Structure 1
Amino acid sequence: MAMKIDRSTVRMNYLYFVSDTHKEGIPVQPIMVCNEGPTMGISRYLGRLLGLLFNDATHCKKLRKAYNVIRAMEFYQKSGQLRPTTLFASFNIDNLCLNFSYQQVMNALEHFLNSYISSDHSIQGMTISTILQLVRLVLDEQYFIYNYKLYRKTAGSASGPLLTIPLVYIYLFYCQQDLLEDLINTNELFFRYRNEAFITWNRSEDELRTLLAMANSQFPQPILNITHIGLRIDFRDILITNNNGILQTGVYHELMFDDNELLSSFPDII
């Protein structure tokens, strides 16, 4: 059974910090490692289930490999959807994954399930009530070790579990129904790759930025980190360009250092 626990393989979750060298000031991000935690089996099971439900309800495509976006974009162009003014946008949900309120997420999840599933139906043998209870169990039992002390996480979820990201997307789009209806159009593309999302947009850039700003304004701190908006965008390791209605794709090479900075590091060689 997918949710059966083998005690011999269970290991307590633990916390460590990693530095983000791509950001100014090199901030650190807390990472809770829970691959062998006691609720990981339940988390994986529910994550797959809720992820499939969310994808189906929002016409979202989950990318297993970043390059899969190219095939989808080629079909989008062939179907006549790519216009000279079509914009690409990407954002991530890192902040929301770390800080969401359990009660607000549970309310959004219940609303989503009741909207998507008839009250007299079950999914994979589970009722809505059972799914909600299991999700709450996973959220409430997030204990971890740091510096030989035991802590309990009371907001957000661990980085990486399959359950965290579907929950956050459900929370994001079903606690703000207007955002869902405005941002996700069945004629447009909506991809998610782990904690990052990519959409196509055939209205003005000002409208898109206003919509995303309104979404962020509903929360104490920004929940959507907008990474790119424009006719040319890099999504993971793919470079996508709308050249006057013609799709161009390539490999994106991230520039780690400024050319002048790099050259000045080797004065004796030059």
Structure 2
Amino acid sequence: MPTTGISKFLDQLIRPIFDKHARSATIIDGVDLIHRLEAYRTNGYLKSKTYLYTFYITDLYTMLPQDESLDILIEFLVQQDYQKVQNIPIDIIRNYEKKFYRQVIGSVMGSSFTLTLGNIFMWKWEKQLVHRLEVSNELYGRYVDNIFFTLNDSIEFIDQMLDQANNSHPNIKLVRQIGGSIPFRDVFIENSNGTLKTSVYHKEAAEPYVVPSGSDHPSHVFRNTVDTAITRATRYSTTLIEFEEEIRQMKLMFLYNG
């Protein structure tokens, strides 16, 4: 379809710029988050009463306001001092996107540019929250529509801050979780009286399923599956006990899959 090529073109044009300028507030993967947490602890910001907070945005891509998102895209480019992108004036990019996007609300899932446009929309939405946390030397990071941050303040203050964030835009609604130990993506994070502990997190509803050994896949697929699982256990596990427990879970998973 013609729109597929347009979407890829826009994504190749804009995504590298966003990745470059929004890196500090972007979580790449579990290892990236753990490294940030370790730096947070090393700098003395992790206290015994530090709260760990996660929330995710419900239905971000199906509720993405198109015109507003495109306006935010131009605002983002201007703020980063871009008048042209690869010699294309941003006004032309804006008009090009206006012709491409006919939906008023929501983006096409699977479209190359959907993720980038959603990220740029969230860049605008999260600016005030990021600033409030950064001035307090707190850790903030977002992985698409999942957000993690730390806070050394009262729960009442946190709830008030997130209530304001939740009401700041009619299309953005948050589902939050707070505690001394919480999961974020595939990492389980615990603040044990000021001591940072991490391990691999498995969702309770997730089936322990990988590519069966009897399936018709190249042999390197099975090797990579095992290598990836062991590498993740090594990088995520703070203690030997947690590592050994993850290895035990891995053995059961591979036995389950033949």
What residue ranges of structure 1 are gaps of 5+ in the alignment?
1-9, 13-36, 141-152, 258-270
Contact 1:231 1:242 in 2 (8 A): yes
More helix as a share of residues: 2
Q: What corresponds to 1:194 in structure 2?
A: 144
Report deviation, 1:211.
1.7
Residue 251 of structure 1: how far off its partner (Å): 1.4
Against the structure 1 CA distance between its residues 94 and 45, is the aligned structure 2 distance closer, same or farther, given a 3 Å change threshold? farther
Letter in 1 for 2:32: N
Contact 1:42–1:134 under 8 Å retained in 2: no
Matches within 5 A, 1:25-104: 37-56=4-23, 59-63=24-28, 65-104=29-68
Identify which of 163, 180, 187 aligns with 1:213.
163
Residue 207 of structure 1: SS of its match in structure 2?
helix
Contact conserved, 1:242 with 1:248, CA < 8 A, in 2? yes
Counterpart-to-counterpart distance in 2, 1:206 and 1:155: 33
Instruction: Give CA-to-partner distance per residue, 1:64-106, whole Å, 9 cap, x none.
Output: x333322221222112221222222222234232112222222
Q: Secondary structure at the match of 1:62?
A: coil
CA distance in 1: counterparts of 2:72 and 2:88, whole angstroms: 18
Distance 1:205 1:164 in 2: 34
Q: Which one-letter code corresponds to 1:55 in the other structure?
A: A
Q: Quick one: which amino acid aligns to residue 49 of structure 1?
A: P
* Mapped pair 1:126 → 2:88: yes
Cα deviation for residue 224 of structure 1 reads 3.6
In the other structure, the counterpart of 2:131 is: 181
- Residue 139 of structure 1 aligns with an amino acid whose one-letter code is Y
**TM-score (normalizing by structure 2):** 0.66
**Structure 1: how far apart are the matches of 2:36 and 2:129?**
23
Contact 1:50–1:167 (CA<8 Å) still a contact in 2? no
Q: Secondary structure at the match of 2:101?
A: helix
The one-letter code matched in structure 2 to 1:216 is N
State whether residues 89 and 229 of structure 1, in contact with CA within 8 Å, keep that contact through their aligned partners in structure 2: yes
CA pair 244-175 structure 1, distance change in 2 beyond 3 A: closer
Task: Give the structure with the higher percent strand.
Answer: 1
Aligned to 1:116: 80
| Deviation string, structure 1 residues 171-211 (Cα, Å, up to 9, x no partner) | 34425754443255583333232332222223322222212
- Summarize the Cα distance change of 1:188–1:160 in structure 2 as closer, same or farther, 3 Å threshold: farther
More deviation in 98-107 or 40-49?
40-49
Q: Is the Cα contact below 8 Å between 1:61 and 1:192 reproduced in 2?
A: yes
* 1:240 match: 189
Deviations 1:94-150 (A, max 9, x none): 4232112222222322333222216xx53433333234334434433xxxxxxxxxx
Contact 2:63 2:106 in 1 (8 A): yes
C-alpha distance after superposition, 1:30-71 (max 9, x if no partner)? xxxxxxx34332243145234325515xx21331x3333222
Identity %: 26
Matched residue SS, 2:106 = coil
SS of the residue 1:154 aligns to: coil
Distance 1:162 1:246, change over 3 A: farther
Equivalent of residue 71 in structure 2, options 104, 107, 126:
107
CA RMSD of aligned residues (A): 3.0
Task: Specify every segment of 5 or more residues in structure 2 that has no aligned partner in the other structure, as ranges.
Answer: 207-258
> For the Cα contact (< 8 Å) 2:166–2:174, is it kept in 1?
no
Residues 218, 195 of structure 1: alpha-carbon distance in 2 compared, 3 angstrom cutoff: closer
